[in-house]
Every structure is written in structure tokens, then in C-alpha cells.
Amino acid sequence: MKIIHVTDMHLVKAGELLHGLDPLQRLQACVDSIGRAHSDAHCIVVTGDLADRGEIESYQLFDKLMTETGLPVYCLLGNHDIRKVYLDQFPTAEVDAHGFVQTSVQTPAGVFLLIDTLLDGSHSGSYCEKKQQWLKAKLDQHHDQPVFVFMHHPPFDLHLPCIDSIGLEEKQAFADTLATHNNVRHLFFGHAHRALCGHWKGISFSSLRGTNHQVQLDFKSDKISYSHEDPEYAVVFIDEDQIVVHTHNYFSE
């Protein structure tokens, strides 16, 4: 099964620049590239920060462009999103009993769990007890098949102080929950605006650059510095015995 992972669009108003770049133009190029090369993908998963300031116009633009791909698109929220405004644009989005935007998707490769780490009013992420109730129930329900988790905030430090300082709270509780059934095969996240991969508590993980600006590769400062490194999306192949993640710099096609 092939899927496309895209993250951190940070859309603003049409024609407006963000950090000296045009988020809409860059997302359009992304959509065009996916349309040319990956119309056979099972779906696109977007791991948050769809909008930079959580404005309704940004979600409308996002909806319009992503619809052009012709593929199913599954989204979760990042620290730049505003849950209520997102739900105004996508009123049929699945929410849990507490109103958090958390979704499970059955695929041929297993179950995708898209979770909500947005903490209102903060750039840090949260996975509180209320949210964990949903995750625990889903892991119990799907204990007999592979599970893939998608989230905005990474649930561990990346050795990037500027990102780690706005990481996920409740890291240990989250790790304990994922370990319940030992059937989580891979973790996809955004937030870092950098391509990286590795292994955490027996689970492989990957992230990638955003479609607009990136974060400087700085292992010392806790202050975010942005960069104009090219955007990318990831092409992910999920098979029974392997997962392969390709990152594609579509801006240099």
C-alpha cells in the first residue's frame, strides 16, 4: 500500500507571504506533483499545522487544493490550528466524546490512528487523560492488527532544543499507552519542519519538511530560526514485512 504524508502547510490568506514564502503557491506545487505521480496512492495523511493562524480562509484554501488531488485526505491538528475553526470548515470530521479531532481509518495495511495533540493557546502539545481514553479504546479494539499512529507533536525529544521546548507533554503516559498491545508499527509526525527518522521504544518513526518554511538544523539554540530549504512530501510504502519512506523534494522536479 502506498500513502502520501504531507505536513505543516501553514496556509495564510491567498497572496500573503509567510517567512518570505508563499504557502499557497508551495502547496499548489505539492498537489500538482502528487497528481502527476501518485494518483494510485491509497490516501494522503496531513499531520497538522494546516493553517498558520487558524483562519477560516486558510482552511477553505486547504480544502479546495487538497480536493484537487482526487485522493482521500485525512487530517489532524497542529499547534497553529484552531480546532473550532477547523470544524467549522470540516463539520463532518470525526471527533471523540470530548470534542477532540481524533480519527481511526481502516486500511488494507492496518488501522491508522490520527490523534489530536493540540493544546489550546500553546505551541506545546498535550495528550491528556481524556484524549488517552480514546486511544486506549482504539488500541484495545484493534489489538489483532497492525496500527500506525499519526500525530503533530513528536512524543519524545529530537535533540533540537527549539522543537523539544514545545514538544508533547505527558510523554511517559503516552509511551505507556502505546505499549499496551505492542502492535504499533510506525509513528508519523510533523511539527519539526525537518526530515528525520529513527526508532523509539521498538517503534520506527519518520517526519519530514513542511510545504512552506523549514526549521534550521540547530542543535544548540532553543529559539526557532526558519530556513528556506525546499519543501517536500513523503511517499510511504507499507507492506507486511517492511515500511519504506521516501522524501520527495517536489520543488526541484
Positions touching Fe ion (CB under 5 A) are: 8, 49
For Fe ion, which is the closer residue by CB, 78 or 110? 78
Number of H helices, E strands in the chain: 6, 13
Shortest Å, Cβ 70 to Fe ion: 26
81: which residues sit within 8 A by CB, 6+ positions away?
A: 48, 49, 50, 51, 54, 118
Other C-beta atoms within 10 Å of 28: how many?
Answer: 15
Shortest Å, Cβ 191 to Fe ion: 6
For Fe ion, which is the closer residue by CB, 8 or 116? 8
Shortest Å, Cβ 193 to Fe ion: 6
Strands 184-189 and 203-207: parallel
Shortest Å, Cβ 28 to Fe ion: 19
Separation CA 247–CA 234 (nearest Å): 4
Residue nearest to Fe ion (CB): 49
For Fe ion, which is the closer residue by CB, 189 or 205? 189
CA 109 to chain centre: 19
Shortest Å, Cβ 95 to Fe ion: 22
143: which residues sit within 8 A by CB, 6+ positions away?
A: 180, 181, 183
For Fe ion, which is the closer residue by CB, 8 or 229? 8
For Fe ion, which is the closer residue by CB, 37 or 85? 85
